[in-house]
Amino acid sequence: MNKIKIFALHFNECDPVKCTSLKLKKFGLVTTSNIVINKMKNSILLDPFAEKILSEKDIKLVIKYGITVIDCSWKNILNTTTLKFKNKRKLPPLIATNPVNYGKWEKLSSVEALAAALYIIGFKPFAKLLLSKFSWGTEFLKLNFEGLTKN
């Protein structure tokens, strides 16, 4: 169904039972690593501190190199600002629907961030597939539809 490469830079800082990137890995939808691997270096890094906002104009980069999400505790997110990626992008302001951060602005889980990115660049069916693996996943699209479509 999908040829987009999806990576999770996974720092093992969360409860493995609740970890969305590990669940996606079980389904074969994400490649995880605790270090930056060569395949990731040119991908779009979803970084909340990036200067540029992800848009549909990034589609060629995503098709060629993929998307990488940072999977770490929000308490340690500042430690990731030194990651050396060529193509850093942030998402527009979105509301989390995951059980840990429900209703909080911009405290997305890895699957929410990945699905948002895929939705924005035009891979809506793949975004929905990722979210379908979680009971609360469809709520994310409903709650954030406007923010995901006004790019």
Q: What is the mean pLDDT of residues 106-130?
A: 95
In a domain, 42, yes or no: yes
Distances (CA, A) of 145 to 19, 41, 141: 24, 30, 5
In a domain, 27, yes or no: yes
* Angle between helix 110-121 and helix 124-131 axes, rounded to 10 deg: 160
Structure token digits, residue 13: 């800082």
Rounded to two decimals, what is the model's pTM? 0.91
Residue type, 5: K
Residue type, 91: L
| Partner residues linked to 7 by β-bridges | 31, 68
In a domain, 88, yes or no: yes
Parallel, antiparallel, or unpaired: how do β-strands 67-71 and 31-33 relate? Answer: unpaired
Which domain does 106 fall in, by range? 6-149
In a domain, 95, yes or no: yes
In a domain, 17, yes or no: yes
Which of residues 76 and 103 earns the better pLDDT score?
103
DSSP 72-102: S-GGGGGGGTT---SEEEBPPP-B--STTTT
Q: Domain count of the chain? A: 1
In a domain, 1, yes or no: no
pLDDT digits (tens, 9 = 90+) for 8-18: 988 777 777 88
d(CA 104, CA 85): 27
